[in-house]
Chains A and B, each alone.
Chain A
Amino acid sequence: MSDWVKSERQLERERVRRSRARRSASIATASTIVLVVLVVWGVTNAPGWPRVQETFFDGGQFAAALPDVARGFLLNIKIFLIAEALILVVGVLVALARGVTSPAFFPIRALATLYTDVFRGVPTILVIYLVGFGLPALKLQGIPSDLATLGVIALTLSYGAYVAEVLRAGIESIHPSQVAASRSLGLSHGKTMWYVVLPQATRRVVPPLLNDFVSLQKDTALVATIGPLEALRQAQIHTHQDFNYTPYLAAALLFILLTVPMARLTDHLAARTRRRRGA
């Protein structure tokens, strides 16, 4: 056969599909606009709206609080970045420790199990109190006095347990035949974990891991309870001073600004892995 020319019948089919797609798109647009208009109209016409507007959406308050809140937010970012790196290390170590079978390592496995059981159960805020007020109360040499450092330690302890469990689930999802193949090549248990199991496991758990890290971003605000001036605390100070909630909105926007790029980054990573592996 020579070159394929689309038949009349196929051209007609494509015309129908296009017109249907156009109609769906216009219906979607119209219904979105109507929904938004109705909700905005409904809210702004509520009897209490002016009061809500001035307590939550006050432009002047927003501008006044933003510099302090943004300065505080730098501390959140610092805590988040350092904690995230440490949490990954703790998570991997604990997840691996829970997987060792050699009897000599029984105490380590038991300790790792105890750690995840305890720190997943204890509310993060309590861990922060314990580390933030308990550690310094010991009055030992070498215990950090910097509040952000104490906060990082507390968040690492708390989130390390979650991340360890996520990673462990990922490790257990790798088919035993992969371990068999690696061991049969002469790789030790440790090397098998490092080169074969963990790389596959982490790829699988990126979405839940990202979820934990978004949650961690927000929980950096809990560190405020032990004293440092982070974004939410700065917003709270402004709010309490003038009895106006708008500063919280400024803090919320900053947190969103941090979360959204991270979500896009993961999407991008996932897409790249899919492309590269042609799956």
Chain B
Amino acid sequence: MSVLSIDGVWKSFHGHSVLRGIDLEVAPHEVVSLIGSSGSGKSTLLRCVNLLETVDDGTIRLDGEDITDPRVDVDDVRKRLGIVFQAFNLFPHMTVLDNITLAPRRVHGVPREQAAEQAHELLVRFGLADKATAYPDRLSGGQQQRVAIIRALATQPRLILLDEVTSALDPELVVEVLGIIRELKESGMTMILATHEMGFCRDISDTVCFLDGGVLLEKGPAEKVFTDPEHARTREFLRSVLETRRL
């Protein structure tokens, strides 16, 4: 059964339609990438899945449960999801360790010692063991984003949503963040990522979705979409992105 199943989702802001009937299935351990130009609806789709936005129509199911039902416990749904933002959004008044253990302790009721222990394991695994007591603004952008990913992982979610997590980083810091994501894929984590990193996307994704003006125009295995797209719009988009890269 699918981890996530999106069915005919519509969303508009101030009369402007951002999502126009999106359908998408995400299987366990699958990595799905959303590509498309800015404003194509990638971030909005992720925010709808995380219930940060309310859909105008359609349904989203998480492990078969309709999470777009207004009677659903929003906090309970979010316990099972992790999201990482483009701008990291770490809590500046907390140390790295406190950022990571906040949700396990306050939402999942994990005792302080145990939460700290688990956080330390993650920090060691992702090479940030010496930063546990640092405050976020003492870290580089890449380190902050790695902490944000660890924070999302700490609650052991079913699914992780990554919203253009490298867009705010200097080029030399992108690599360390992509390294983590690669490692997550190897560990079997189910992920949806909105991204502009085409090379990385092609390399890591099981499925690539091209969004254009709020419509899921093309969906397929990464190799297929990148080498032999069906739609002219997809070809056009990929060409323009590759040209920019060359410049």
Q: Chain A interface (Cβ within 8 Å of chain B)? A: 177-178, 180-188, 191, 195-196, 199-200, 203, 276-279
| Chain B residue at minimum C-beta to C-beta distance from A184 | B83
Q: Is the CB of B78 within 8 A of A200?
A: no
B138 contacts A188, C-beta separation under 8 Å: no
Contacts of B180 in A (CB 8 A): none
**Which chain B residue lies CB-closest to A279?**
B137
Q: Are A186 and B135 in contact (CB under 8 A)?
A: no
User: Judging by beta carbons under 8 Å apart, are A186 and B137 in contact?
Assistant: no
Is B52 touching A180 in the complex (CB atoms < 8 A)? yes
A186 touches B85 (CB 8 A): no
Name which residue of chain B comes closest to A198, CB basis: B93
Please give the distance in Å from A232's CB to the nearest CB on chain B.
39
Q: Which residues 88-135 of B have a CB within 8 angstroms of A?
A: 89-93, 102-103, 106-108, 135
Task: Given A185-B102, A191-B107, answer yes or no on A277-B89 (Cβ-Cβ < 8 Å).
Answer: no
Cross-interface CB contact of B91 among A181, A183, A184, A276, cutoff 8 Å: A181
Residue of A nearest to B103 (CB): A185
Residue in A183, A195, A196, A276 whose beta carbon sits within 8 Å of that of B78 in the complex = A183
Given A195-B102, A277-B137, A279-B137: A185 touches B78 (CB 8 Å cut-off): yes
Q: How far is A187 from B81 in the complex, measured between Cα atoms in Å?
A: 12
A185's partner among B76, B87, B135, B155 (CB-CB below 8 A) is B155
C-beta contact mask, B39-60 vs A, less than 8 Å → 1, else 0? 0000000000010100000000
- The main secondary structure of chain A at its interface with chain B is helix
Most buried by A among B75, B85, B135: B75
Q: What are 15 pairs between A and B in contact, CB < 8 Å? A: A181-B89, A182-B102, A183-B52, A183-B74, A184-B78, A184-B81, A185-B151, A186-B76, A186-B103, A187-B107, A191-B107, A195-B102, A277-B137, A277-B138, A278-B137
Q: Which residues of A contact B87 (CB under 8 A)?
A: 177
A200, B99: Cα distance in complex, Å: 14
- Asked if B233 is an interface residue, CB under 8 A from chain A, the answer is no
Of the candidates B52, B78, B89, the one whose C-beta lies within 8 Å of that of A178 is B89
Contact assessment for B93 and A187 in the assembled complex, using a CB-CB cutoff below 8 Å: no
A188 to B91, CA, bound (A): 16
Contact between A187 and B106, CB atoms less than 8 A apart: yes
Select from chain B the residue with minimum beta-carbon distance to A278.
B138
Pick from B78, B90, B91, B92: contact of A186, CB below 8 A: B78
A94 to B108, CA, bound (A): 29
Q: Which 5 residue pairs are nearest across A and B when measured between Cβ atoms?
A: A181-B89, A185-B103, A186-B79, A186-B107, A186-B78
Checking A180, A186, A200, A276 against B89 with a beta-carbon cut-off of 8 angstroms, the contacting residue is A180
Closest to A180 in B: B52
Asked if A196 contacts B107 (CB within 8 A), the reply is: no
Contact yes or no, A184 B52, CB < 8 A: yes
CA distance A35 to B192 in the complex (A): 71
Complex Cα distance A188/B106, Å? 10
Report the Cα distance A278→B140, complex, angstroms: 13
